[in-house]
Chains A and B, each alone.
Chain A
Amino acid sequence: MATEMPTPTPPFRRGITLMETLLAAVVLSMTVGAVLMPFTAGARCAEHDARVSVAVSLAQDLMEEILAKPFSDPGGGEKHETGRGDWDDLNDYDGYEEPAGTIASFDGTLAADPTAVNLSRHVTVEDVYVSGQDTRQAATFRRVTVEVCYHGQALTSLCRLVYANGP
């Protein structure tokens, strides 16, 4: 007789409710997310580091080129200077910009490495007067700043103060 009358299973044992499934899915996804996060963060950090290294190298490259030029114009004029190849003093570089993809060394070779993609360079050269100097006279100090940006966001910036002791 008992075989024909199975004890009814209690309603909460019949299966998994939708809420339980959803909860399980949420917990699982959180766990997977937590496990993967350090890996992706690590990879992103390593890539960022590599990019900063390249950016510093590019900033230094341009800074060395600028510092190789005399403090003031040796020719006395800027008339026949049409581009970077003709520039012969620090001030010529003021406002110089190399948008992403156009970064080139002084010989004109483009920086074609994948790590340099989306990097841009900007230069500002400004007159600096230290305290006690007459600001109506020509400046004897200039501050050269080379900034390297990634997607328009500053990655690194190099700054040098140059004294007018050259020719």
Chain B
Amino acid sequence: MSRRSESTAAFTLMELMLALSITSVIGLTVGSVAVALSHAQSHTDQLSESVQSGRGGLLAIESHVRKAKLVTAVETNGLVLWLGDANADGKINVDELAMISHDGDSREVRLSKLSFPKTLSPTMLEMLNVSRTLSAVDTISDVSSELDRGIYVGYVAVSPLAINVARFEVVTDAAPPLSRLVGLRITVGTEGGRQVSLVSSARLRDDETANVSSYTDGSN
């Protein structure tokens, strides 16, 4: 009697092993589902983050293009904009130019612009803020070397417009300076990871393409 009741009171080895194997099968299934879920989660997170950051970057670039009066230079990975005659002298001054270009090392699309402090004396400002003809600013390297000049050290403001950019492409409807529509294509995401490319266009809202001839000649 006592032996019999003992044998029914405890698990047999078979029962224990069966229970263990069932538990491990269930555990493995739940674990693999959890791993798959977290993968899917991080994947969608990455995707939406890339899309958002690309969209944000495009909006930032578009806002500068819209405000511009002329596109003076366009290359596959950047452009130069003339933002308008801030000092009303009828000429293109260096501080009225904005260069938007892709830096492959930092994976950023940057806006580079000269900005002179208000405290600068008028004579100093006149010396520094020289005017340029359209042909002098029709390539990115021209403008880039202009901004790199020693006299402008400390006056060049560089700000990132889009980060984590793998590729940045610019196209226009017509060759600069007659462009009125700028197509932007941006590819965002880490190398080897999920990359998203977004396209957008921006139109110069109040362009000066009709008066291009007055900016081509430096003599006036």
Q: Give me the interface of A with B, judged by CB distance under 8 Å.
A: 2-3, 6, 36, 39, 42-43, 46-47, 49-50, 53-54, 56-58, 60-62, 64-65, 67-68, 105-107, 109, 111-113, 115
B200 touches A57 (CB 8 A): yes
Known: A46-B47, A109-B171, A113-B197. 11 other contacts (CB 8 A): A6-B4, A39-B40, A43-B41, A46-B45, A50-B51, A50-B196, A61-B183, A62-B201, A105-B199, A106-B201, A115-B47
Knowing A50-B47, A105-B185, the reply to whether A112 touches B37 (Cβ < 8 A) is no
Mark interface residues in B46-58 (1 if CB within 8 Å of A CB, else 0).
0110011001001
Q: Which residues in A have their C-beta under 8 angstroms from that of B203?
A: 64-65, 67-68
B47 touches A107 (CB 8 A): no
Q: Which residues in A have their C-beta under 8 angstroms from that of B55?
A: 53, 56-57
CA distance A106 to B180 in the complex (A): 12
Asked if B13 is at the interface of the complex by the 8 Å CB criterion, the answer is no
CA distance A58 to B198 in the complex (A): 8
Knowing A43-B41, A47-B44, A64-B202, the reply to whether A54 touches B51 (Cβ < 8 A) is yes
A-B CB proximity, top 6 nearest: A64-B201, A46-B44, A50-B51, A68-B181, A107-B171, A61-B201
Residue of B nearest to A47 (CB): B44
CB distance from B158 to the nearest CB of A (A): 26
Q: Which residues in B have their C-beta under 8 angstroms from that of A115?
A: 47, 51, 196
Q: Which residues in B have their C-beta under 8 angstroms from that of A68?
A: 173, 180-181, 203
Residue of A nearest to B207 (CB): A68
